C-alpha cells in the first residue's frame, strides 16, 4: 500500500475565511494598517459574568472529564433555553454538547450520511458546509438563491433540488454569508417538503439573536411534530455571547440521531472542554442585557455600512435582517483595471483592495457567490467608517 493521504482528505479545501484572517493577522503584526471586514467573530469582549463563571469553574475543580455528551447541568440549561426561547421541548438525552457549533454540524453529518447521500445547501453558503458533507461521504447539492429574492430559496427551487438521494437540507437563518432570514412561510414550505419527501432538516441557528427586523427567530422544529422528528437544531454561544474561543456548540434532535451523535463523539473527542461548559451555563442563565447591547451595536454598524457602500458608484448591497455580514455586489466593476491589473473576478477585486487600500474582504467564490464580496461588520465603528472611505477611494481609482 503506497504512502499518502486519503482520497477523502485530499479533496478538502481549507477554510478560506480562516486563511484570509490569518493573512490579515500577519499583515497587522508586520505593522500594516489593515481594516479587516473579513472576521467571522464578534469583536466584543466576552461578558464579565461569563468570564467570572469560567474562573470560578476552574477554582471549583471543574477540570475533569464530563459525560461525553456534555455535563448534565449544562444540558439542563440548554433544555431550558430551547424551551423558553425557542418553544422546543427536548429531553436532555436529545441534546449533545460539542466543541463549537461547527463540531455539532460535523457530528450530525457524520451520523446521518451514507456514501452518496445528498445534502441540499442553499448558496451563497457558509464555507464549511460543503467540505463537511464531503468529509462525511455525502454529496453537496447546491441550490442557488438570488439577490432579487433576498437570498432565500423559493419552494419551487427547493423542490427542483430534491432527488431520491436527498438526506438533509441545510438551513441557515439568519445566514452567513449574507444575513438573509427565512420568514414563516418560507420555513413552512421547507417543512412541508421535508415531511413529504422524507428528509432531515439541519437548522443552524447560531445567529438567532442577531436579528434587526423586530422579529424573533422561528425554529423550524416548532412547525409541527412531523417536522420536529426530522429536524436537528444546531446552536452555540460563539456569536450571541462573543465566546468564539470557548468552543461550545450543541445539537438537539430525534432520539436515535442524537444517540448516534453521542456515541461517535464519545469515541472521537470525548466531552467538550469542561470549564467552558460551566461558563456556558452562566451565559444561558444570566441576565441577557449584554446580548441586547451587542445586538444594538451591530445594528448601528449594519446601517452605517449599508448606507456607506450603497453611496459608492459601482457597488451595492442589500440591507440584511440578521447576522453581521453583508454581501457587496461588485459585478459592475468586473472588466475595470486596478493599477494595470484587470479585475476579472471578485477574488481579484478583493486581492487588489487588500494590496492597494489595505482593506480585507472575503471574495464571494469562497461562498459560491461569484461577483460578490462578504463584509463582516464585527469591527469598531471608527474602523468601519475608515474602511468605507478606503473602499470608495479604491473604487474611484479603477479605470
Ligand atoms: C453559520 C455558522 N455556523 C456555525 C459557525 C461555527 O460556530 P462555532 O464557533 O460555534 O463553531 C459559524 C462560524 O463562523 C457560522 O458562521
Is the bond leading into 321 cis (omega within 30 degrees of zero)? no
| Distance separating alpha carbons of residues 315 and 285, to the nearest angstrom | 43
C-alpha of residue 11 to centroid of ligand 1, in Å = 22
Report the alpha-carbon distance of residue 135 to residue 314 in Å, rounded: 39
Return the half-sphere exposure (C-beta side, CA atoms, 13 A cut-off) of residue 389.
8
* 35 CA from centroid of ligand 1 (Å): 22
In degrees, rounded to 5, the angle at the alpha carbon of residue 250 between the alpha carbons of residues 47 and 259 is 155
C-alpha cell at 161: 433540488
Q: What is the pLDDT of residues 245-254, one digit of tens each?
A: 999 999 999 9
Quickly state the pLDDT bin for 334 (edges 50, 70, 90): very high
Q: What is the position in ligand 1's atom list of the atom closest to the CA of 172? A: 1
Q: Which residue minimizes the CA distance to atom 13 of ligand 1? A: 40
What are the pLDDT digits (tens) for 354-372? 999 999 999 999 899 999 9
C-alpha 356 – ligand 1 centre gap (Å): 30
Our answer on whether the CB atom of 205 is closer than 6 Å to any ligand 1 atom is no
14 CB-near residues (< 8 Å, 6+ apart) = none
Atom of ligand 1 nearest to the CA of 249: 10
**Rg of the chain, C-alpha, whole Å:** 21
* Sign of the alpha-carbon dihedral angle for 341, 342, 346, 347: negative
Task: Please identify which residue in the block is written with the cell numbers 461562498.
Answer: 367
Categorize the per-residue pLDDT at 12 as very low, low, confident or very high, splitting at 50, 70 and 90: confident
Query: Is the pLDDT assigned to residue 56 strictly greater than 80?
Result: yes
By percentage, how much of the chain surpasses pLDDT 70?
100
Peptide bond into 58 cis (omega under 30): no
- Ligand 1 lined by 15 (C-beta under 6 Å): no
Kindly provide the residue ranges of all beta strands, DSSP E only, lying in 173-230, ordered along the sequence: 200-204
Task: Check residue 219 and give its pLDDT.
Answer: 98
44-80 b/e with 16+ CB inside 10 Å = b? eebbeebeebbeebeeeebeeebbbbbbeebbbbbbe
- Is there an atom of ligand 1 within 6 Å of 172 CB? yes
What's the whole-number mean pLDDT along residues 51-80? 98
Phi-psi region of 257 (alpha: psi -120 to 50; beta: other; left: phi over 0): alpha
What is the number of the ligand 1 atom nearest to the C-alpha of 40?
14
Q: Whose CA is nearest to atom 6 of ligand 1?
A: 102
Distance 85 CA to ligand 1 centre (A): 20
Residue 388 near residue 382 (C-beta atoms within 8 A): no
pTM of this prediction?
Answer: 0.95
Instruction: Give tens-digit pLDDT for 129-166.
Output: 999 999 999 999 999 999 999 999 999 999 999 999 99
- Measured in Å, residue 343 CA sits from the centre of ligand 1 at 31
Please check the confidence at residue 100 and state whether its pLDDT lies above 80: yes
Residue 15 confidence class, pLDDT cut points 50, 70, 90? confident
**Does residue 39 line the site of ligand 1, with CB under 6 A?**
no
Identify the pLDDT of residue 8: 85
Atom of ligand 1 nearest to the CA of 126: 1
Mean pLDDT for 268-281 is 97
Q: Give the per-residue pLDDT at 40.
A: 84
Residues 6+ apart with CB under 8 A from 92: 72, 75, 76, 78, 79
Ligand 1 pocket test target in 133, 206, 234 with most atoms within 8 Å of CB: 206
Distances (CA, A) of 216 to 79, 95, 166, 221, 286: 19, 22, 30, 15, 20
Kindly indicate the confidence band of residue 209, based on its pLDDT and cuts at 50, 70 and 90. Answer: very high
Three-state DSSP state, 25: helix
DSSP code, position 113: P
| Ligand 1 pocket member 176 (CB < 6 A) | yes
Q: Which three cell numbers stand for residue 240?
A: 450571541
* Å from CA of 202 to ligand 1 middle: 14
Mean pLDDT of 268-278: 97
Report whether residue 20 contacts ligand 1, using a CB cutoff of 6 Å: no
Phi-psi region of 4 (alpha: psi -120 to 50; beta: other; left: phi over 0): left
CA distance 389 to 312: 10
Q: Output the CA–CA distances (angstroms, integers) from residue 305 to 105, 217, 298, in the order listed.
A: 31, 23, 10
Nearest-CA residue for ligand 1 atom 14 is: 40
Give me ligand 1 centre to Cα 120, in Å. Answer: 18
Q: What span, in angstroms and rounded, lies between the C-alpha atoms of 186 and 202?
A: 15
Ligand 1 pocket, mutate which of 41, 106, 123, 128 (most atoms under 8 A from CB): 128
Tell me: pLDDT of 16 over 80.
no
| pLDDT at 93 > cutoff 80 | yes
* Ligand 1 pocket mutation, candidates 108, 126, 130, 209, criterion most atoms within 8 A of CB: 126
- pLDDT value at 22 more than 90: no
Q: If we measure between CA atoms, which residue out of 397, 19, 99 comes closest to residue 274?
A: 99
- Residue-wise pLDDT tens digits, 279-315: 999 999 999 999 999 999 999 999 999 999 999 999 9
Per DSSP, 3 falls in state -
CB of 204 shorter than 6 A to ligand 1: yes
Spatial contact of 328 and 307, defined as CB atoms under 8 Å apart: no
Q: How many CA atoms lie within 13 A of 176 on its CB side?
A: 24
> What pLDDT does residue 74 have?
98
In short, whether 240's Cβ falls inside 6 Å of ligand 1 is no
What is the chain's mean pLDDT, rounded? 96
353 CA distance to ligand 1 middle (Å): 26
**CA 174 to CA 317: how far, in whole Å?**
16
In this predicted structure, what is the pLDDT of residue 61?
97
**Protein residue closest via CA to atom 12 of ligand 1:** 102
Cβ-contact 373, 330 below 8 angstroms? yes
Confidence of residue 223 (pLDDT cuts 50, 70, 90): very high
Q: Which residues contact 36 (CB under 8 A, 6 or more apart)?
A: 21, 24, 28, 360, 379, 383
List the one residue out of 298, 328, 297, 302 whose CA is nearest residue 394: 328
Least confident stretch, 20-24, 37-41, 97-101, 311-315: 20-24
Cβ neighbourhood burial of 207 (10 Å; 0-12, 13-18, 19+): buried
pLDDT at 75 over 90: yes
Does ligand 1 lie within 6 Å of residue 242's CB atom?
no
Amino acid at each position: 500500500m503506497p504512502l499518502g493521504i486519503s482520497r477523502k482528505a485530499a479533496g478538502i479545501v481549507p477554510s478560506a475565511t480562516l486563511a484570509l484572517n490569518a493573512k490579515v493577522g500577519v499583515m497587522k503584526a508586520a505593522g500594516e494598517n489593515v481594516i479587516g471586514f473579513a472576521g467571522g467573530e464578534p469583536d466584543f469582549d466576552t461578558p464579565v459574568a461569563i468570564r467570572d463563571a469560567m474562573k470560578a469553574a476552574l477554582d471549583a475543580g471543574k477540570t475533569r472529564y464530563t459525560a461525553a455528551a456534555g455535563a448534565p447541568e449544562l444540558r439542563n440549561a440548554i433544555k431550558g433555553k430551547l424551551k423558553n426561547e425557542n418553544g422546543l421541548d427536548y429531553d436532555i438525552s436529545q441534546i449533545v454538547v460539542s466543541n463549537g457549533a461547527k463540531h455539532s454540524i460535523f457530528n450530525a453529518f457524520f451520523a446521518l450520511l451514507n456514501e452518496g447521500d445528498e445534502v441540499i445547501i442553499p448558496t451563497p453558503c457558509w464555507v464549511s458546509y460543503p467540505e463537511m458533507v464531503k468529509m462525511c461521504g455525502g454529496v453537496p447539492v447546491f441550490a442557488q438563491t438570488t439577490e432579487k429574492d433576498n437570498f432565500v430559496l423559493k419552494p419551487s427551487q427547493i423542490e427542483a433540488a430534491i432527488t431520491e438521494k436527498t438526506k438533509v437540507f441545510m438551513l441557515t437563518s439568519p445566514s452567513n454569508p449574507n444575513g438573509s432570514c427565512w420568514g414563516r412561510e418560507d420555513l413552512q414550505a421547507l417543512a412541508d417538503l421535508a415531511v413529504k419527501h422524507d428528509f432531515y432538516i439541519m437548522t443552524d441557528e447560531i445567529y438567532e439573536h442577531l436579528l434587526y427586523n423586530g422579529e424573533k427567530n422561528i425554529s423550524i422544529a416548532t412547525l409541527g411534530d412531523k417536522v420536529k422528528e426530522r429536524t436537528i437544531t444546531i446552536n452555540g454561544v460563539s456569536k450571541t455571547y462573543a465566546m468564539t474561543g470557548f468552543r461550545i456548540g450543541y445539537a438537539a434532535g430525534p432520539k436515535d440521531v442524537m444517540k448516534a451523535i453521542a456515541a461517535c463523539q464519545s469515541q472521537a473527542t470525548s466531552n467538550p472542554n469542561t470549564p467552558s461548559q460551566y461558563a456556558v451555563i452562566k451565559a444561558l442563565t444570566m441576565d441577557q442585557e449584554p446580548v441586547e447591547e451587542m445586538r444594538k451595536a451591530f445594528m448601528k454598524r449594519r446601517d452605517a455600512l449599508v448606507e456607506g457602500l450603497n453611496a459608492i458608484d459601482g457597488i451595492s448591497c442589500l440591507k440584511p435582517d440578521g447576522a453581521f455580514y453583508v454581501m457587496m455586489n461588485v459585478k459592475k466593476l468586473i472588466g475595470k483595471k486596478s493599477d494595470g491589473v484587470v479585475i476579472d473576478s471578485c477574488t481579484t477585486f478583493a486581492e487588489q483592495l487588500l494590496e492597494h487600500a489595505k482593506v480585507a474582504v472575503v471574495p464571494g467564490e469562497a461562498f459560491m457567490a461569484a461577483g460578490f464580496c462578504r463584509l463582516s461588520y464585527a469591527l469598531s465603528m471608527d474602523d468601519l467608517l475608515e474602511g468605507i472611505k478606503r473602499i470608495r477611494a479604491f473604487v474611484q481609482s479603477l479605470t
